[in-house]
Amino acid sequence: MFKKKLPGDAGMIGGVRKKGKSGKLEELVLPNAKLRFCPEQLQNLNFIFNKRLQKIKDACNDKSLALAKSVTERLVQRLLSSVGSLDPRFASKFLIRNDDEGNISSNTLDYIVRLDCLSTPSLYESDAMPRYSVIEGDTDCPAAYARLKLQAHTLKTWSDFVNGNGYLRRDKVQARLVELLALAASKEAPVSPLHVDESCCCGIPGKVVDSYTLYNILKIPPQKHVYYGPGGNVPRFPDPRDFRLAIVDEPEGVRMRVEFLSPALNACSVEVRVLVAIGLDAWPSTTDFPFRVPLGHADCLLYHQAAETGMYLVGYGVQSSAWQIRLPAAEYVIMNHYGPNSTVRTVLNILYGTVDDLDQARKTKRQQVSYKILNKYIFRTLLLEELEEASKTPVLDMIKWSPMYLSTHILDLLDKIIPKLQSERQNNYFFHKSNLLVNPGHLSDDDFTAEAHNVKVVLVRLFDESLMSSKMNEEFQNMILAQESEMTLLHKWKDLIEGLLPPPGTRGRRFCFAGSKNRQEVAHTQYTHRQLEYIGLLLKKMLSVKQNILHTDHTCFDQTINLETSDQDQPLDDIIFILVDILDQARDQYLSSQTNPNILKNKLKINNNYCSSTAKLVDLMRKDKELMNLNLEDDMVLVKTILKWLYKAMDYNKRYLGPLLRPYLSNLFAASHAISWHIDSIKKRASSDEIEALGTFSELVNSAKITPAQGLIDAVNKDWNWAKSMLTMVEKSTLRVVFIEERGKVYRHILSLPSYQKKEIQTGSKTLDLSVAKSEARTQNTLPNCYFNSILTGSKTK
User: Which residues does 434 contact at the CB level (< 8 Å), separation at least 6?
Assistant: 142, 143, 144, 427, 428
Give me the half-sphere count of Cα atoms (radius 13 Å) on the Cβ side of residue 87.
17
How far apart CA 406 and CA 412 sit, in angstroms, is 10
User: Which residues does 497 contact at the CB level (< 8 Å), separation at least 6?
Assistant: 395, 673, 674, 677
For helices 635-652 and 658-675, give the axis angle rounded to 10 degrees.
150
Closest by alpha carbon to 663, among 290, 293, 292, 294?
A: 294
User: Could you tell me the pTM of the whole model?
Assistant: 0.89
**Do residues 401 and 393 make contact, with C-beta atoms less than 8 angstroms apart?**
no
**In this predicted structure, what is the pLDDT of residue 328?**
97
How far apart CA 218 and CA 281 sit, in angstroms, is 10
**In this predicted structure, what is the pLDDT of residue 257?**
97
**In this predicted structure, what is the pLDDT of residue 772?**
33
Cβ count within 10 A of residue 222? 20
Helices (H), 186-260: 211-218
DSSP 435: B
User: Which residues does 442 contact at the CB level (< 8 Å), separation at least 6?
Assistant: none
Residues in the chain: 798
Q: Which long-range contacts (CB under 8 A, 24 or more apart) does 644-649 make?
A: 644/513, 644/522, 645/575, 645/579, 645/617, 645/621, 646/579, 646/582, 647/507, 647/511, 649/579, 649/583, 649/617
Task: Please state whether 232 falls in left (phi above 0), alpha (psi between -120 and 50) or beta.
Answer: left
Closest by alpha carbon to 115, among 148, 92, 139?
A: 92
CATH 3.40.50.20 matches 63-287+309-327: no
Angle at 81 between CA 110 and CA 119, to 5 degrees: 70
Where do you find CATH 3.30.460.90 in the chain?
63-287+309-327
**In this predicted structure, what is the pLDDT of residue 62?**
74
How far apart CA 701 and CA 713 sit, in angstroms, is 13
Query: 40-57+338-481 has which fold?
Result: Poly(a)-polymerase, middle domain (1.10.1410)
DSSP structure string for 107-130: SEEEEEEE-GGGSSS-SSTTSPPP
Where do you find CATH 1.10.1410.40 in the chain?
40-57+338-481
Cβ-count burial of 596 within 10 angstroms (0-12 exposed, 13-18 middle, 19+ buried)? Answer: exposed
Give me the half-sphere count of Cα atoms (radius 13 Å) on the Cβ side of residue 260.
19
Cβ count within 10 A of residue 86? 16
**In this predicted structure, what is the pLDDT of residue 139?**
84
**Residue 502 preceded by cis peptide, ω within 30:** no
Low pLDDT (below 70) residues in the chain: 1-23, 60, 101-104, 364-369, 504-525, 552-569, 755-798
How far apart CA 487 and CA 480 sit, in angstroms, is 11
How far apart CA 200 and CA 115 sit, in angstroms, is 11
How far apart CA 787 and CA 780 sit, in angstroms, is 14
